[in-house]
């Protein structure tokens, strides 16, 4: 008893799967920007550049007003209200002399960026920022629309204040960058129209693409159901699906069309085969029935006549046995068999040992096939040539143009032209009186075609040539 497999994913229409896949694809750039930190780093760099520009301006003003710290603090407080950047001015000892906040007198000389600026170069530091409680954020909440910035780092830029080539101090600016989500939220008004268009396009593509694909699949499903039900004209939906612009659907339709044609041919073959078998078995079975009834009802039949009837019955039984054997061999040939590399020259040489006096020439080389079936082809053709042809029988092997095979030649009276068209039909025989079943040449044709080859016959008085070949 099989164990039911647990389905991890629901069974949904194709349009839904396409829509979900398109949505995932649309969201990938957003996820990539967030997950890789690319946007966060870009925001840090933007903040740094802004602070550097502000610092350059403030340092120009500060070099003229270093002597009025109170006035400078008022100016810095106004600047902070507009730029959200904390601004402090330190003297050449690193002590804050003016500030946008209440840090006047604080010693910043230990900070690396401050020391760099006091040495005459621009300093930069990116420091972790402690979490800010929601209640203390400017705007009174966590809304992305508030001026509060929620990033977990703070950028510090230190710009030296120079006058007459001497460093008087430094301007220290700091600001928290906007975080990823705040940035996306600020872009919503500009992206909303494009987002709606993209979403509508996604819906359209998923519906249209799903309709195009499912239309072909539905046609194929309907054709399969009609074929299974044995309806006439069941292949019509397949013909429509073969014109699909989706390559995989068209390939599937081609495969189903091939399968349908083979099934139809197989059904026709089985119907014809059943009729032929019925006809071939009917005659000997009817004769056997008549013989048995006659022997049963006539106890006074003379012994010689009784023996003749029994001989006829045995002949009919032999014919039935030959028919059954021939049908089994034909069925095995149609099913195929275990294929291997076969040395056709060696196979012919070994087979002709059963027919002393048959000459052989030429070379066929190696082929890929079923050894027993190829041997059966040789035995059938040579045996027929010896029984029905002339006294001289020969075999000519050949290969070339992707083919390999042999020609069985005899110098008999030839085959009646009226029989040539039916020669390879099942159950056709001109030797029924001697037990012919009409399956030998049909077997030869089936094996040859099953090996990618064929068989043909050319006959005239004095020469008959059976040429059989397989793919080399």
Q: Give the domain ranges of the chain.
A: 14-178, 337-471
Question: Given strand 153-163, what is the order of strands in its sheet?
Answer: 96-99, 86-91, 166-175, 153-163, 123-128
Integer Cα distance of 413 and 429 in angstroms: 17
- Is the domain covering 14-178 a CATH 1.10.1200.30 domain? no
3-state helix, strand, coil split of the chain in percent (to 5) is 55, 20, 30
List the structure tokens of 50: 């802004």
| Buried b / exposed e along 449-468 (16+ C-beta atoms within 10 A) | ebbebebebebeeeebebbb
Nearest partner of 468 among 337, 304, 344, judged by Cα: 344
Integer Cα distance of 440 and 330 in angstroms: 9
Angle at Cα 390 formed by Cα 449 and Cα 454, nearest 5°? 10
Integer Cα distance of 394 and 388 in angstroms: 14
Angle at Cα 39 formed by Cα 35 and Cα 42, nearest 5°? 145
Quote the radius of gyration of the chain (alpha carbons, Å): 49
> What CATH number labels 337-471?
3.30.565.10
pTM over 0.75: no
Instruction: Pinpoint the alpha helices (H) of 229-370.
Output: 236-241, 247-297, 303-335, 344-352
Q: How many helices (H) and strands (E) does the chain have?
A: 12, 12
Instruction: Check if the beta carbon of residue 397 is closer than 8 Å to that of residue 355.
Output: no
**pLDDT (tens place) for every residue of the chain, 472 residues total:** 445 566 677 777 777 887 888 788 878 877 877 777 788 888 889 999 999 999 999 998 888 777 788 888 888 899 888 888 999 999 999 999 999 988 899 999 999 999 999 999 999 999 988 765 544 444 444 444 545 566 788 999 999 999 888 899 999 999 988 877 777 677 777 777 777 888 888 888 877 877 777 777 777 777 777 777 766 666 667 777 776 667 777 788 888 788 877 777 777 766 666 665 665 566 677 777 887 887 787 777 888 888 887 887 787 677 677 667 666 666 666 666 778 999 999 999 999 999 998 999 999 999 999 888 899 899 989 988 998 887 899 999 999 999 999 999 999 988 888 888 888 887 777 665 555 567 778 888 988 988 899 999 999 999 999 999 999 8
């Amino acid at each position: 008893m099989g164990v039911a497999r647990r389905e991890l994913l629901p069974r949904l229409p194709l349009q839904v799967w396409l829509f979900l896949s398109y949505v995932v694809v649309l969201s990938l750039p957003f996820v990539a920007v967030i997950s890789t930190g690319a946007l966060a780093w870009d925001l840090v760099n933007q903040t740094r550049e802004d602070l550097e520009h502000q610092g350059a301006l403030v340092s120009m003003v500060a070099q003229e007003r270093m002597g009025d710290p109170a006035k400078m603090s008022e100016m810095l407080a106004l600047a902070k209200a507009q730029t959200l950047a904390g601004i402090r001015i330190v003297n050449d000892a690193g002590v804050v002399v003016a500030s946008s906040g209440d840090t006047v007198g604080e010693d910043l000389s230990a900070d690396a960026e401050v020391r760099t600026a006091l040495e005459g170069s621009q300093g930069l530091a990116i420091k972790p920022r402690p979490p800010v409680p929601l209640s203390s954020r400017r705007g009174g909440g966590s809304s992305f629309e508030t001026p509060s910035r929620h990033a977990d780092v703070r950028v510090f830029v230190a710009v030296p204040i120079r006058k007459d080539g001497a460093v008087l101090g430094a301007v220290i600016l700091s600001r928290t960058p906007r975080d990823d989500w705040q940035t996306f939220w600020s872009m919503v008004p500009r992206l909303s129209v494009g987002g709606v268009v993209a979403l509508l396009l996604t819906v359209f593509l998923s519906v249209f693409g799903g309709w195009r694909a499912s239309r072909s699949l539905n046609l194929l499903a309907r054709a399969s159901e009609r074929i299974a039900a044995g309806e006439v004209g069941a292949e019509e939906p397949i013909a429509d699906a073969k014109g699909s612009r989706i390559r995989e659907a068209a390939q599937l339709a081609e495969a189903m069309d091939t399968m349908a044609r083979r099934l139809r041919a197989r059904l026709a073959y089985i119907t014809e085969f059943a009729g032929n078998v019925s006809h071939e078995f009917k005659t000997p079975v009817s004769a056997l029935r008549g013989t048995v009834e006659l022997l049963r009802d006539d106890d006074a039949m003379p012994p010689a006549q009784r023996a003749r009837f029994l001989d006829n019955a045995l002949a009919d039984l032999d014919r039935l046995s030959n028919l059954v054997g021939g049908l089994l061999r034909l069925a095995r040939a149609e099913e195929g068999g275990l294929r291997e590399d076969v040395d056709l020259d060696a196979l012919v040489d070994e087979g002709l040992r059963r027919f002393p006096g048959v000459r052989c020439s030429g070379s066929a080389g190696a082929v890929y096939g079923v050894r027993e079936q190829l041997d059966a082809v040789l035995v059938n053709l040579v045996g027929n040539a010896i029984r029905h042809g002339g006294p001289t029988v020969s075999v000519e092997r050949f290969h070339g143009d992707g083919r390999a095979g042999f020609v069985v030649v005899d110098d008999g009276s030839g085959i009646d032209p009226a029989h040539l068209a039916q020669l390879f039909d099942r159950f056709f025989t001109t030797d029924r009186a001697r037990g012919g079943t009409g399956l030998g040449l049909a077997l030869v044709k089936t094996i040859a075609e099953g090996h990618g080859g064929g068989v043909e016959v050319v006959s005239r008085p004095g020469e008959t040539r059976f040429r059989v070949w397989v793919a080399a």
